[in-house]
Amino acid sequence: MVTAGTLATLLVAGVASLFMAWAIGAGSSGSTPFAPAVGANAISVMRAGFYVGILGLAGAVLQGANVTEAVGKDLVLNQPLTPTAAIIALVVAAVLVALGVFEGYPIATAFTVTGAVVGVGLALGGDPAWAKYQEIATLWVLVPFVGGGVSYATARLLRTEGIPESLLVPALAGLVGLILANIRFVFLGPAGAQRSVAETVAADLGGTLGARVAVSLALAVALALLLAYDMRGDEARGQRHFLLALGGLVAFSAGGSQVGLALGPLLPLTDTVGIPLVPLLFGGGLGLLLGSWTGAPRMIKALSQDYSSLGPRRSIAALIPSFAIAQTAVFFGIPVSFNEIIVSAIIGSGYAASGDGGGEVSVSKMGYTVLAWIGSLVGAFAVSYGAFAVVDGLLIG
């Protein structure tokens, strides 16, 4: 039976989670997906904030389960989070992220939430989940090198005079189509499972690997031909449409990843009162949407103008690896910072033009950003660990 005390605790934890979702929407998931498109003057700051909120809500509901369960259940072993611990972790992380939003620095949300959850979990007496930490750390370390490297290589390729953009850009759209065909959605799978478009269509064609490959290639070719047709009359217009589509895909992926950072700590409590995951994801998605609409424009401006002067080609180069990395994190249920993904990609694409004066990258801003990322992880861990120890001592006393 659910007591009044349990409901009151759930309400307080829910408010803390909603605040966290707002902070994430105003910062990481709300600002980063369309920042390159804004930098390339393909969309206005306010319109970008509007669309990213809606797409983030959709991503939260359709792809948010994996990361939510990882944050709520996999970061600390043998000790589920108590309501008090969940509230402390959410409040500490949300305050740090909100400070980053108001000061104009992209605090790494995944670093902050991970540090806070691990801090309160260990303070509770839980055991470190070393295998999960290794998995998370590997992705976090690889993101700047993979994202920045692929973005740099793609931007240089787009600047190659020997390859017509009318062929190269549609080919990149085909690559995005391959990824899109194989990302998984809740509504395509049976209850409690997820399926990709390729898996769903291939199931009607025999369910073989060959059928899945054929479906993936068909979608890739269709998208490539569609963009080629769009670019035939006006290459700049086609590039702008492709850039906006990429921003939308990254915004959708951001919702699928970042909602778990706000909702994960709530899972032990919501499980005890029988709240289904999908309505919980919808509520978290609404929090992301509100954050995107009310707080994201400031960070969009910071990312689009402070880190690198981007044109359409370099923006496309930044968003393609961002989309791929984001979906990889969603698939494996790894909390990842979209600020780290996008900033690394923006820097990589900016360096592709820095040699001939076509782009500029702020080294000082990069340094402050890296320090903010490290500080957010260490600070969130220390503050949440100490805060729980103090609160627990007062409650016992």
Mean pLDDT, rounded, for 118-136: 93
With contact defined as beta carbons under 8 Å apart, do 16 and 90 qualify? Answer: yes
Average pLDDT over all residues of the chain: 84
Give 357's contacts (C-beta < 8 A, 6+ positions apart). Answer: none
Please tell me the distance from the alpha carbon of residue 156 to that of residue 119, in angstroms, as a whole number: 42
Give 125's contacts (C-beta < 8 A, 6+ positions apart). Answer: 79
With contact defined as beta carbons under 8 Å apart, do 56 and 285 qualify? Answer: yes
Give the predicted TM-score (pTM) of the model.
0.86
Burial of 192 (0-12, 13-18, 19+ CB in 10 A): exposed
Q: Can you give the pLDDT at residue 223?
A: 95
User: Quick check: helix, strand or coil at residue 64?
Assistant: coil
Which phi and psi (to 5°) does residue 40 adopt?
-90, 10
pLDDT tier at 252 (50, 70, 90 boundaries)?
very high
Q: List, in sequence order, every residue forming a beta bridge with 196; answer none if it has no partner.
A: 184
pLDDT tier at 304 (50, 70, 90 boundaries)?
low
Please tell me the distance from the alpha carbon of residue 152 to that of residue 146, in angstroms, as a whole number: 10
Please tell me the distance from the alpha carbon of residue 115 to that of residue 384, in angstroms, as a whole number: 8
Select, from the ranges 99-113, 239-253, 298-312, the one with the highest average predicted confidence (pLDDT): 239-253
Say what percent of the chain tops pLDDT 70.
Answer: 88
The model's pLDDT over 183-238, given as tens digits with 9 standing for 90+, comes to: 988 777 676 677 888 988 988 887 788 899 999 999 999 999 999 999 988 888 88
pLDDT tier at 373 (50, 70, 90 boundaries)?
confident
The model's pLDDT over 4-32, given as tens digits with 9 standing for 90+, comes to: 767 787 888 888 888 888 878 877 666 67
The model's pLDDT over 95-126, given as tens digits with 9 standing for 90+, comes to: 887 777 676 665 678 899 999 999 999 999 99
Q: Can you give the pLDDT at residue 60?
A: 92
Q: Can you give the pLDDT at residue 173?
A: 95
> What is the β-pairing status of strands 184-185 and 127-128?
unpaired
Tell me the residue length of the chain: 397
Q: Can you give the pLDDT at residue 307?
A: 47
User: What is the DSSP-derived secondary structure letter of residue 187?
Assistant: G
The model's pLDDT over 160-189, given as tens digits with 9 standing for 90+, comes to: 877 888 889 999 999 999 999 999 887 776
The H or E element containing residue 229 is helix 209-233
Q: What is the DSSP string of 79-105?
A: -PPPHHHHHHHHHHHHHHHHHHHHHT-
Q: Can you give the pLDDT at residue 45?
A: 78
Q: What is the DSSP string of 231-293?
A: HHH-HHHHHHHHHHHHHHHHHHHHHHHHHHHHHGGGHHHHHHHT--HHHHHHHHHHHHHHHHH
The vertex-239 CA angle with 238 and 244, nearest 5°, equals: 100
